[in-house]
Amino acid sequence: MSLDGLSVDELITKARTFRLQGMNKKAIEAFQKVLEHQPDNLDILHEMGLAHIHIGEQTDAVIVFDLAISIAPKDYRGHSNKAEAYLTIGEFETANTIADTGLKLIPDSGEIWTKKARALESLLKIQEAIDAYNEALKHDSGNPETWKALALCLDAQEQWAAVARAYRIAAGLHSKRGELQDADSCEKFAQMAERS
C-alpha cells in the first residue's frame, strides 16, 4: 500500500496501526513520512525508535533517541528509551551511564530511575538496584512492575518481609486496574516470601 497522498494525521494513524499489527518496518516507513512534515514531532520519534528496538535495530533506535534528546533534553522519554535500547542488547554499563546522564537533567523521573535500576540489577549490583528502584518509587509509586522488580532484588537478599510487602503493594495496584490474575500471582508470591 502506498503512503503517498496521505495527510499527516492519516500517516500517523497508519503507522500506529502497522505497529499494533506487528508490521514494524511499515510503521517505521510511515513514521519517516510523518517526520518529513514534522521533523520535531517527539511522539513520533519515540514511537519510531521503539519500533526499531522491537525489530532489533538498536543502532537506528539510538540515532532516533539522540535526535529526540537534542530537540528536548529534559523530556525523560529520550533518555529512558535510549537506555532501553542498550538494555535490550545487554550493554548494561552503557544503559546505566545513559540513565545517569538523564537523571542529571531530570532527577525526578521514575522511568529513568527504573532503567538505571534494571541496568544495575543486570550488573548484579543488587543493593544499588534496590536503592534505584526505591528512588523510582518515590517519583512514581503506581507501577506494579516496579514493585515486582524491587521484590525480586529484595528476594536475592532474602529480605522476606520486604519482599512480601512489595508484592502486596503490586497486588493492590493490579487489583485497582482490574488485573486480577496478576494480583493473585503477586499475593501468592507474598505468601511464599512470608513462609521463607
Cβ atoms of 99 and 83 within 8 Å: the answer is yes
Cβ atoms of 27 and 18 within 8 Å: the answer is yes
If you average pLDDT over every residue of the chain, what do you get?
96
- Name the one residue in this structure whose C-alpha cell is 532527577: 107
- Name the one residue in this structure whose C-alpha cell is 538523564: 102
Q: Which three cell numbers stand for residue 169?
A: 503493594
Instruction: Give the pLDDT confidence of 44-66 residue by residue, as tens digits.
Output: 999 999 999 999 999 999 999 99
Q: Which three cell numbers stand for residue 14?
A: 497508519
Instruction: Give the pLDDT confidence of 125-146 residue by residue, as tens digits.
Output: 999 999 999 999 999 999 999 9
CA distances from residue 76 to 16, 111, 126 in whole angstroms, order as listed: 22, 8, 24
Task: Band the pLDDT of 118: cuts 50, 70, 90.
Answer: very high
pTM of the model: 0.91
CA distances from residue 14 to 17, 23, 41, 103 in whole angstroms, order as listed: 5, 11, 16, 34
| Farthest-apart Cα atoms in the chain, separation | 64
Cβ atoms of 86 and 95 within 8 Å: the answer is yes
Domain boundaries, the chain: 141-196
Distance CA 93, CA 116 (A): 10
Cβ atoms of 58 and 86 within 8 Å: the answer is yes
